[in-house]
Structure 1
Amino acid sequence: MGNRIEQELTEDLLRELQEEHYVMLATIDQDTKGPSVNAISWIYAADRNTIRFAVDRKSRIISNIHENPAAVMTVIADGSTYALSGKSKIVQEKIDNVPVKLSMMELHIQEVKDVMFYGARLTHEPQFEKTYDEDAAAKLDRQVMDALQSV
C-alpha cells in the first residue's frame, strides 16, 4: 500500500510484535548528532502505543537515548515495512533474573508509517538464527521476554 500513516500499532502489527522479532532501531548519536542504526530482536509490544525492548547495558543506544529520546524502529512485517516513530526512555537500568547485563527501554509510539515503496509487497520477512548454544539461547530468550512482559 505504501505511505499509510497511523497514530498507533494496527492489530496485526500488535500481534506480530508480541514476540521476538528482527527490527532496526535508529537513534541520534550523542557525539556526531547523526543517525545511528542497530539491529535488535528482544522486543515486546505492551500495547498499541508502547514497545519494550532489551539492549546490552553498555550499548550506545542507551547513551544516545539519554541525550535525545527521539527514535525510529523499522519493522518488516505483514508484507510491508513500517517506521514506528516516537520517544524512547529507559524503564530499568538493570533487568533482574536475566544472566546477561541488559537494560529495558520503551518506545512510546507517536506515528506508525507504512514506508514500503509503491506497488510492492514483501514476499519473505527477515529470519535469523542464534549462533550460540541452542538451549542456552532459548532459555535466555524466555527470560528476557518474560521480563519485558512483566512490567
Structure 2
Amino acid sequence: MANQVEPKLIKPLYDELQKERFVVLATIDFETGGPNVNAISWIYAKDDETIYFAIDNRSRIVQNIKNNNKVVINIIANESTYSISGEASVKQEKMEGVPLKLALIEVKIKEVRDVMFYGSKIVTEPEYDKTYDKNAAARLDKQVMDAMKNA
C-alpha cells in the first residue's frame, strides 16, 4: 500500500531493524546546506520510536547532525521502500566495548512513510558482502550490534 504514513515503525520494519542491514541515510551537509547521502549498515531499532546507528566518530555525518539534526533513513524492506524521518543526536561520542572510534547516533522517529511508487513492490532486497576478513568483520559486527542493544 503506497504512501501510507505512520508516526512510528510498523512491526515488519521494527523486526528488520533488529539486525545489521543496508540502509541509506540522508543528512543536511553542514558546509553546503545541501543533501548528503551515505550508505550505512550498523543500525538497530531500540523500540518503535527510536533508531540507533553507529558510524566512525570522525565522519562528516556527525558534524552534519550537530549542525542540523533532521535526518531521513531509507530502507527497502517488507516488499516496499520506506522513508523514516526523525531528529538525530549524538548519544555517545565513543561507544564502549567497540575497538573502533564509533559514535552512537540516536534518531527519534517523527514519521515513517511508504514511498514506493504506485502499483509496484520490491521483489529483491539489496544485499552486500564484506570485502575484508570475514571473521574480523563478523566479530566487529557483533561487538557494534551488542553495544547498540545495550546502550
TM-score by length of 2: 0.99
Q: Using the TM superposition, give the Cα deviation of residue 96 of structure 1 relative to its aligned residue in structure 2, in angstroms.
A: 1.6
The equivalent residue for 2:5 is 5
Equivalences for 1:56-135 in 2 at 5 Å?
56-135=56-135
The superposition leaves residues 72-131 of structure 1 with CA deviations (integer Å, 9 ceiling, x where unpaired) of 000100110000001000000001221111100011100000000000000000000100
The superposition leaves residues 25-47 of structure 1 with CA deviations (integer Å, 9 ceiling, x where unpaired) of 00000010000000000000000
The equivalent residue for 1:30 is 30
Q: Which amino acid aligns with 2:17?
A: L
Q: Which amino acid aligns with 1:12?
A: P
Instruction: Give the secondary structure class of the aligned counterpart of 1:141.
Output: helix
The superposition leaves residues 119-146 of structure 1 with CA deviations (integer Å, 9 ceiling, x where unpaired) of 0000000000100000000000000000
Task: Tell me the distance in 2 between the aligned counterparts of 1:73 and 1:54.
Answer: 13
Equivalences for 1:137-148 in 2 at 5 Å?
137-148=137-148
Alignment RMSD, CA only? Answer: 0.5
Q: Which amino acid aligns with 1:31?
A: E
Q: Using the TM superposition, give the Cα deviation of residue 21 of structure 1 relative to its aligned residue in structure 2, in angstroms.
A: 1.0
The equivalent residue for 1:40 is 40
Instruction: Give the secondary structure class of the aligned counterpart of 1:82.
Output: strand
Mark the runs of 5 or more structure 1 residues left unpaired by the alignment. Answer: none
The superposition leaves residues 3-59 of structure 1 with CA deviations (integer Å, 9 ceiling, x where unpaired) of 100000011110111100100000000010000000000000000010000000110
Task: Tell me the distance in 2 between the aligned counterparts of 1:148 and 1:106.
Answer: 10
Mark the runs of 5 or more structure 2 residues left unpaired by the alignment. Answer: none
Q: Which consecutive aligned stretches of 4+ in structure 1 deviate over 3 angstroms post-superposition? A: none
Q: Which amino acid aligns with 1:108?
A: K
Task: Tell me the distance in 2 between the aligned counterparts of 1:8 and 1:49.
Answer: 5
User: Number of paired residues?
Assistant: 151
